[in-house]
Amino acid sequence: MNSEISYVHPSADSPWGTYLSQVDRVVPYLGGLARWAETLKRPKRALIVDVPIEMDDGTVAHFEGYRVQHNMSRGPGKGGVRFHPQVTLEEVMALSAWMTVKTAAVNLPFGGAKGGIRLDPKKLSQNELEKVTRRYTSEIGIIIGPNTDIPAPDVNTNAQIMAWMMDTYSMNVGGTATGVVTGKPLHLGGSLGRVKATGRGVFVTGREAARRLGLDLRGARIAVQGFGNVGSVAAELFAEAGARIVAVQDHTGTIFNGDGLDLAALIPVAREDGLAGFNGGKVIDTEAFWDVPCDILIPAALEGQITAERALKTQAKLVLEGANGPTVPAADDILAERGVLVVPDVICNAGGVTVSYFEWVQDFSSFFWDEDEINVRLDRIMMNALNQIWDTADRHKITLRTATFAVACERILMARQERGLYP
């Protein structure tokens, strides 16, 4: 008998609620494997940890941390660690599940996992950030490892944080285990191309989708939400291909320039002072971002940004999901009805985890590849995956999201079935 899990109570538009509805939509396309579909609706393992540290002022602060291993049927758990004041268990569960689907969609030999700590990294000193990272790593050390679950960067985490995680895990096991995390600094077993990989994957899948739609990238107008590692890199690559980045939004504000923003000038300002400090565009209202005249919309920030209301407003013909879970289910239906093509997160932003896989393989073999080799392999994997998904979507007359879930869930549940239930 199947039953709902008892420890989260998702709403329809919450991350876990969104994920569950995406699974429900794919079940009719799973044939006999539908028997195993319930396995996708619950994480294999969820760990909640207390992370106490001594702050610089001598007080003791406690943070709540999570590591969720959603599914490991196809290999070790894989997925980032997020530092954000709104992180919850439910959010991390959804993010871990999207990792399961993502790694299967691009056919990497991984399952899906995710971690997070509820904190605002801007409010911590570098010393406090290091302490919280190390204590968190030690606490989740009982379930992570190079062969079991491999963390990586996500929102507000970076190569330095991965170096601390690698060092802490290594100290605890008494060796140097570079393969325990990916997204590390280059001289500590990191991979060339990893920093730009997610943005590059958004560009590669977006370029192919635009070609199939007959949308010329030269002169195409693009609006980007989120200007971190994913949004800014994708924006640069599209601009190099001749597109105009007309609007950019981040947590500090929204700017617009119909002739195209000067990215070379914008990127350093955005990094230092936030977008609002840039004078090469007009500051517009947060909500006005969603109906700016544009051809392509790239949500590259957090979940739940494209609501039903915003889906009705957008002028874009193509949505490229750089973020995880940016579109709620009701908005997905509206976009499909309006003929707006969505390249879903679980394929669109899979470039990051793909180069994480390359990094993990390089760490194990202690043999490092040059950047051309990384990029050629990345582009090939992304293109092959997208083409297969596109054919599935055409064959069943379904959205690219449901097609991606169909391809991925077939792989996951086939592995589940072949392995069999233990005992």
Residues lying near ligand GLU in the complex (CB under 6 A): 78-80, 152, 154, 182, 324, 349, 352-353, 356
Query: Nearer Cβ to ligand GLU, position 47 or 241?
Result: 47
Report in angstroms how near the CB of residue 113 gets to ligand GLU at its nearest: 8
Residue 122: HSE in the Cβ half-sphere, 13 Å Cα cutoff:
5
Report in angstroms how near the CB of residue 319 gets to ligand GLU at its nearest: 17
Q: How far apart are CA 150 and CA 79, in angstroms?
A: 7
Give the residue from 315, 165, 151 showing the smallest Cα distance to 246.
Answer: 315
Query: Nearer Cβ to ligand GLU, position 179 or 281?
Result: 179
Report in angstroms how near the CB of residue 308 gets to ligand GLU at its nearest: 25
The 10 Å CB-count burial string (b at 16+, else e) for 96-106 is: bbbbbbbbbbb
SS3 content of the chain, % helix, strand, coil (to 5): 50, 15, 35
Pairing state of beta strands 60-71 and 253-256?
unpaired
Q: How far apart are CA 254 and CA 251, in angstroms?
A: 8
What DSSP string runs through 351-408? HHHHHHHHHHHHHHHT----HHHHHHHHHHHHHHHHHHHHHHHHHHT--HHHHHHHHH
Would you name the residues annotated as active-site residues?
A: 114
Report in angstroms how near the CB of residue 199 gets to ligand GLU at its nearest: 12
Report in angstroms how near the CB of residue 115 gets to ligand GLU at its nearest: 10
